[in-house]
């Protein structure tokens, strides 16, 4: 695992749009060979933060440096590989033409550019589709090519903005595998996601953001340790879930209860002792429980603990 | 600059692959210029078949027939002698002749006496120009006869014996009406229809590049591609320059191709190559500036489409791309001089009619560049903001 050697340094960075605060004094730093995750729900300020890291948006306050240079400097940008959330490729060009174009933008030409295109296509398992137009690709293939376009110039810092949104499980697995490979190759990877599982799987350290603020930061173990010995309970049920969640908040041992994705997420001091009370409350409210999962606390529970809301609420 | 060239090259590659761009840039202007030339062709070389019914068979009727067969009229009229007025009506109705002239019985006798007689013209609403020309020929002939009669009457009134009336009449017939009206163009050559509409259509479709390019810019922005370009070590000005450069190259290529095809296939005269090339280049600069302005003013792809369409059609209507601006009211001719296409069409018309060179297009080119300067100054700042938004 890398250490926060300050290769990327965000120091009290803020940004507002039309008076609405999108990022509020966010600070973090990361080193080479480290995967740093920005975990938070949609609209938390993750994308705005990484756009400032990539020099696309000028912060209202604070400073961002990449290897000691301001992120707004062109020199800093050549160190960064940006992979946007939406697929940003030319649909009427082939995979190779897209990559070749981005190579040239970064000043790569001739054999070097050809070699980088070949390398990126092989890395993303698209070598056999190099001469196919992008608009003929599946969503997962486009995502992989989208990542390939950010790798061509061998960036020291790779910024991945929700790279697995809307992809099939196979492509998702492939992308997460690649992130591990980038880290092993010594690359710093800044990874935004609202999927707790992804953050837990690929990130060395995680910064949890909500409403533009960094509300917690650390390794998974450090963050979960904040909760002490707690359990999470996920209830799948049919009925008035909001009313049930409200009722459960008053049940002894239940610390937080939130509804998201048609489920109730609970943070409890002891899941097994609380469970009968939950079932009783559901019965009273005529809510039919279809499944119950009890597990040790995870990043989702940390988020619930810190904000009182579920990550995907 | 390197990045600008890379972006321009990529844009051009996409443009060449896009069939609609090829259709708009080359096929459509050539096709429409050809169609308009066909539609208006003949306006300057009018010719028709005139039916003639001689019910008189006298000397004056013979003279009229000989007049109609004179070499001077052969370029305009082909004479077809018909047997009766009924046949003439049928021929006109079936458009086998464009119009017919009926010489009534006693026409010659009336010409040499104090009696009156009239030539009849038969015409159809389907061929009003032929009808007008037929009436004009008949009027001209009747005017000549009346002039002859007046000459004889004047001579007799002045003391010539009436016994010499026939001799006087013969002498008067030999004297044609001396004053004539001859129409000559100001330049060395009259303007050919295709020489006007080839550049007019090329310019119109060049202007469609404004819509096409601004739309593609906003499409790229919506797809996050502009943002991705900005994440590279590329200055926003280079992105803008790259976009503009591709518009310039495509515009020059489009105008050049239409020029070559219309000149080779339809005989369009664009004028001296160096001068015409300069006009084309300055016009493409104006198009580039207008494209940047639309990109700067619009916020979305839909807005870009709307603004670009308005700009294109206003310029085309005011500048004279749809009609000969020289035939428009004077206020329209003045307004045309506020448009780059108006100046360009004026330059192309001058080049093809006077055979002039660079000096002929100096003022139009400067006017187009002045227009570009004004539009460009406003556009650059706005378009830069659109790139960095």
B97-107: pLDDT as tens digits:
988 989 988 88
Structural domain total, chain A: 2
Instruction: Report whether pLDDT(A1) > 50.
Output: no
| CB contact (8 A) between residue B231 and residue A89 | no
Most confident listed range (A40-49, A108-117, A197-206): A108-117
Secondary structure (3-state) at B290: helix
In sequence order, what are the residues at sequence separation of 6 or more whose Cβ sits closer than 8 angstroms to the Cβ of residue A147? A83, A124, A160, A163, A175, A178
Task: Say yes or no: B230 and B282 in one domain.
Answer: yes
Q: What's the CATH code of the domain at A251? A: 3.30.70.980
Q: What's the CATH code of the domain at B119? A: 3.40.1710.10
A286 belongs to a structural domain: yes
Domain ranges, residue A165: 8-224
Task: Say yes or no: A127 and A270 in one domain.
Answer: no
Tens digit of each residue's pLDDT (9 = 90 or more) over B238-259? 998 999 899 889 888 888 888 8
Which pair of tokens denotes residue B2? 């390197």
Which pair of tokens denotes residue B283? 């016009």
Mean pLDDT computed over B135-160? 81
pTM: 0.72
Task: Say yes or no: A101 and A160 in one domain.
Answer: yes
B89 belongs to a structural domain: yes
B180 belongs to a structural domain: no
Task: Say yes or no: A20 and A137 in one domain.
Answer: yes
User: What average pLDDT does chain A have?
Assistant: 88
Task: Say yes or no: B136 and B267 in one domain.
Answer: no
Nearest to A124 by CA among A86, A96, A82: A96
Q: Is B273 on the interface with A (CB under 8 A)?
A: no
A132 belongs to a structural domain: yes
Task: Say yes or no: B101 and B151 in one domain.
Answer: yes
Secondary structure (3-state) at B115: coil
| CB contact (8 A) between residue B228 and residue A80 | no
Q: How confident is the model at residue B280 (pLDDT cuts 50, 70, 90)?
A: very high
Mean pLDDT computed over B31-56? 76
The DSSP secondary structure of B180-245, one letter per residue, reads ------SSSSPPPHHHHHHHHHHHHHHHHHHHHHHHHHHHHHHTTHHHHHHHSS--HHHHHHHHHH
The DSSP secondary structure of A188-241, one letter per residue, reads EEEEEES-HHHHHHH-SEEEEEETTEEEEEE-HHHHHHTT-S-EEEEEEEES-H
Task: Say yes or no: A99 and A205 in one domain.
Answer: yes
pLDDT the model gives residue B283: 94
Instruction: Report whether pLDDT(A114) > 90.
Output: yes
Long-range contacts of B151-159 (CB under 8 A, 24+ apart): B151/B175
pLDDT the model gives residue A3: 47
- Report yes or no: B196 and B349 within 8 Å, Cβ to Cβ: yes
Tens digit of each residue's pLDDT (9 = 90 or more) over B177-214? 555 555 555 555 666 778 888 899 889 988 988 988 89
pLDDT the model gives residue A2: 42
pLDDT the model gives residue B274: 94
Q: How confident is the model at residue A30 (pLDDT cuts 50, 70, 90)?
A: very high
C-alpha distances (whole Å) from A218 to each of A39, A162, A197, A225, B196 are 11, 20, 16, 10, 74
Mean pLDDT computed over A101-119? 93
Of B223, B227, B232, the CB nearest to A77: B232
Task: Say yes or no: B73 and B118 in one domain.
Answer: yes
Mean pLDDT computed over A52-60? 93
| Final residue in a domain of this structure, among A224, A240, A263 | A224
- Report yes or no: A37 and A83 within 8 Å, Cβ to Cβ: no
| Final residue in a domain of this structure, among A204, A224, A244 | A224
Task: Say yes or no: B76 and B121 in one domain.
Answer: yes
A280 belongs to a structural domain: yes
Task: Say yes or no: B151 and B252 in one domain.
Answer: no
Greatest alpha-carbon pair distance for chain A in Å reads 73
Helix%, strand%, coil% for chain A, nearest 5: 35, 30, 35
Task: Say yes or no: A62 and A158 in one domain.
Answer: yes
- Picking from A57, A105, A110, A162 by the largest number of B CB atoms within 10 A of its own CB, the best residue to mutate is A105
A186 belongs to a structural domain: yes
Task: Say yes or no: A211 and A249 in one domain.
Answer: no
Query: Which chain A residues are within 8 Å of B223, Cβ to Cβ?
Result: 86-89
Q: How confident is the model at residue A308 (pLDDT cuts 50, 70, 90)?
A: confident
Of A51, A104, A149, the CB nearest to B6: A104
Mean pLDDT computed over B306-321? 92
Instruction: Report whether pLDDT(A158) > 90.
Output: yes
Task: Say yes or no: B242 and B333 in one domain.
Answer: yes
Q: What is the separation of C-alpha B322 from the centre of its chain, rounded to a whole number of angstroms? A: 8
Of A75, A92, A102, the CB nearest to B14: A92
CA distance B260 to chain A (A): 29
Task: Say yes or no: B213 and B327 in one domain.
Answer: yes
| Final residue in a domain of this structure, among A224, A248, A270 | A224
Q: Is A82 on the interface with B (CB under 8 A)?
A: yes
B181 belongs to a structural domain: no
Task: Say yes or no: A24 and A59 in one domain.
Answer: yes
A78 belongs to a structural domain: yes
The DSSP secondary structure of B301-364, one letter per residue, reads HHHHHHHHHHHHHHHHHHHTSSS-GGGS-HHHHHHHTTSHHHHHHHHHHHHHHH---HHHHHHH
Task: Say yes or no: A130 and A253 in one domain.
Answer: no
Structural domain total, chain B: 2
Q: How confident is the model at residue A5 (pLDDT cuts 50, 70, 90)?
A: low
Q: How confident is the model at residue B156 (pLDDT cuts 50, 70, 90)?
A: confident
pLDDT the model gives residue A34: 93
| Final residue in a domain of this structure, among B174, B205, B227 | B174
Q: Which residues pair with B248 in a beta bridge?
A: none
B237 belongs to a structural domain: yes
Q: Is A64 on the interface with B (CB under 8 A)?
A: no
Of A55, A88, A101, the CB nearest to B223: A88
Instruction: Report whether pLDDT(B7) > 60.
Output: yes
- Pick the residue with more confidence: B193 or B169? B193
B125 belongs to a structural domain: yes
Q: How far apart are CA A15 and CA A213, in angstroms?
A: 11
A124 belongs to a structural domain: yes
Q: Is A90 on the interface with B (CB under 8 A)?
A: yes
| CB contact (8 A) between residue A56 and residue B17 | no
- Picking from B10, B231, B235, B239 by the largest number of A CB atoms within 10 A of its own CB, the best residue to mutate is B231
Task: Say yes or no: A16 and A115 in one domain.
Answer: yes
Instruction: Report whether pLDDT(B48) > 50.
Output: yes
pLDDT the model gives residue B188: 57
Task: Say yes or no: B151 and B209 in one domain.
Answer: no
Task: Say yes or no: A153 and A44 in one domain.
Answer: yes
- Report yes or no: A205 and A218 within 8 Å, Cβ to Cβ: yes
Secondary structure (3-state) at A138: coil
- Report yes or no: A147 and A83 within 8 Å, Cβ to Cβ: yes
pLDDT the model gives residue B179: 59
Q: What are phi and psi of A227, to 5 degrees?
A: -85, -20
Of B14, B229, B230, the CB nearest to A93: B14
Domain ranges, residue B155: 48-174
Q: How many CB atoms lie within 10 A of CB B167?
A: 13
CA distance A260 to chain B (A): 30
Task: Say yes or no: B196 and B219 in one domain.
Answer: yes
Tens digit of each residue's pLDDT (9 = 90 or more) over A191-206? 998 888 888 889 999 9
Q: Is A92 on the interface with B (CB under 8 A)?
A: yes
Q: How far apart are CA B356 and CA B352, in angstroms?
A: 8
Q: Which residue is listed with tokens 């219309």?
A: B262
Task: Say yes or no: B139 and B58 in one domain.
Answer: yes
Mean pLDDT computed over A285-308? 83
Task: Say yes or no: B159 and B237 in one domain.
Answer: no
pLDDT the model gives residue A189: 94
Q: Is A160 on the interface with B (CB under 8 A)?
A: no
Tens digit of each residue's pLDDT (9 = 90 or more) over A227-272? 777 888 888 888 888 888 888 888 888 888 888 878 888 888 877 8
| Final residue in a domain of this structure, among B174, B207, B242 | B174
pLDDT the model gives residue B186: 54
Q: Which residue is listed with tokens 């590279």?
A: B232
| CB contact (8 A) between residue A105 and residue B232 | yes
Task: Say yes or no: A166 and A60 in one domain.
Answer: yes
pLDDT the model gives residue B149: 77
A202 belongs to a structural domain: yes
Mean pLDDT computed over B377-388? 87
B179 belongs to a structural domain: no
A37 belongs to a structural domain: yes
Which pair of tokens denotes residue B382? 């706005």
Q: How far apart are CA A29 and CA A11, in angstroms?
A: 8
């Amino acid at each position: 695992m890398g250490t926060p050697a300050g290769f990327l340094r965000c120091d009290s960075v803020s940004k507002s749009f039309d008076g609405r605060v999108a990022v509020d004094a966010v600070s973090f730093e990361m080193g080479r060979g480290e995967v740093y995750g920005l975990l938070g729900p949609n609209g938390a300020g993750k994308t705005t933060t990484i756009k400032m890291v990539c020099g696309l948006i000028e912060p209202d306050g604070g400073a961002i440096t990449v290897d000691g240079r301001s992120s707004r400097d062109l020199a800093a940008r050549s160190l960064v590989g940006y992979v946007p959330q939406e697929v940003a490729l030319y649909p009427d060009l082939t995979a190779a033409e897209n990559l070749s174009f981005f190579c040239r933008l970064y000043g790569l030409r001739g054999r070097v550019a050809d070699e980088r295109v070949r390398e990126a296509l092989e890395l993303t398992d698209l070598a056999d589709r190099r001469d196919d137009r992008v608009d003929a690709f599946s969503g997962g293939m486009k995502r992989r090519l989208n990542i390939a376009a950010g790798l061509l110039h061998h960036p020291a810092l790779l910024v991945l903005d929700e790279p697995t949104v809307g992809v099939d499980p196979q492509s998702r697995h492939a992308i997460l595998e690649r992130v591990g490979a980038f880290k092993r190759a010594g690359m710093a990877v800044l990874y935004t996601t609202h999927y707790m599982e992804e953050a837990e799987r690929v990130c060395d350290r995680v910064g949890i953001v909500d409403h533009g603020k960094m509300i917690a930061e650390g390794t998974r173990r450090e963050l979960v340790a904040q909760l002490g010995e707690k359990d999470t309970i996920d209830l799948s049920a049919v009925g008035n879930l909001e009313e049930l969640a409200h009722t459960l908040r008053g049940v002894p041992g239940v610390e937080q209860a939130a509804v998201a994705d048609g489920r109730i997420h609970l943070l409890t001091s002891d899941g097994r002792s609380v469970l009968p009370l939950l079932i009783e409350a559901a019965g009273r409210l005529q809510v039919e429980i279809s499944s119950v999962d009890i597990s040790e606390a995870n990043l989702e529970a940390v988020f619930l603990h810190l904000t009182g809301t579920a990550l995907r609420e | 600059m390197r990045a600008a060239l890379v972006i321009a090259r990529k844009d051009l590659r996409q443009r060449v692959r896009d069939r609609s761009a090829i259709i708009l840039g080359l096929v459509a202007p050539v096709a429409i210029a050809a169609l308009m030339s066909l539609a208006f062709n003949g306006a300057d070389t009018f010719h028709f078949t005139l039916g003639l019914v001689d019910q008189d068979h006298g000397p004056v009727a013979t003279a009229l027939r000989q007049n109609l067969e004179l070499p001077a009229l052969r370029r305009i009229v082909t004479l077809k002698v018909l047997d009766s007025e009924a046949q003439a009506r049928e021929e006109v109705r079936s458009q086998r002749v464009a119009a017919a002239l009926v010489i009534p019985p006693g026409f010659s006798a009336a010409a040499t006496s104090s009696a009156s007689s009239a030539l009849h013209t038969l015409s159809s609403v389907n061929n009003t120009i032929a009808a007008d020309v037929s009436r004009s020929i008949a009027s001209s002939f009747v005017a000549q006869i009346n002039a002859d009669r007046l000459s004889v009457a004047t001579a007799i009134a002045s003391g010539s014996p009436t016994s010499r009336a026939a001799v006087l009449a013969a002498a008067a017939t030999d004297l044609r009406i001396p004053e004539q009206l001859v129409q000559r163009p100001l330049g060395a050559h009259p303007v050919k229809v295709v020489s006007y509409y080839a550049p007019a259509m090329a310019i119109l479709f060049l202007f469609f590049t404004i819509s096409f390019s601004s739309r593609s810019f906003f499409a790229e922005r919506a797809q996050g591609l502009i943002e991705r370009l900005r994440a590279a070590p590329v200055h926003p000005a280079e992105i803008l320059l790259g976009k503009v450069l591709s518009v310039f190259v495509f515009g020059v290529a489009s105008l050049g191709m239409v020029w070559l095809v219309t000149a080779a296939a339809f005989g369009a005269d664009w004028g001296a190559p160096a001068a015409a090339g300069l006009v084309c280049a300055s016009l493409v600069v104006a198009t580039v500036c207008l494209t940047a302005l639309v990109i700067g003013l619009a916020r979305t792809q839909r807005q870009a489409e709307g603004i670009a369409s308005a700009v294109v059609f206003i310029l085309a209507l005011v500048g004279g791309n749809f009609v000969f601006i020289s035939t428009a009211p004077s206020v329209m001719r003045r307004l045309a001089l506020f448009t780059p296409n108006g100046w360009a069409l004026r330059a192309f018309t001058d080049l093809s009619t006077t055979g002039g060179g660079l000096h002929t297009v100096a003022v139009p080119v400067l006017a187009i560049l002045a227009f570009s300067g004004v539009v460009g100054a406003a556009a650059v700042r706005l378009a830069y903001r659109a790139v960095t938004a």
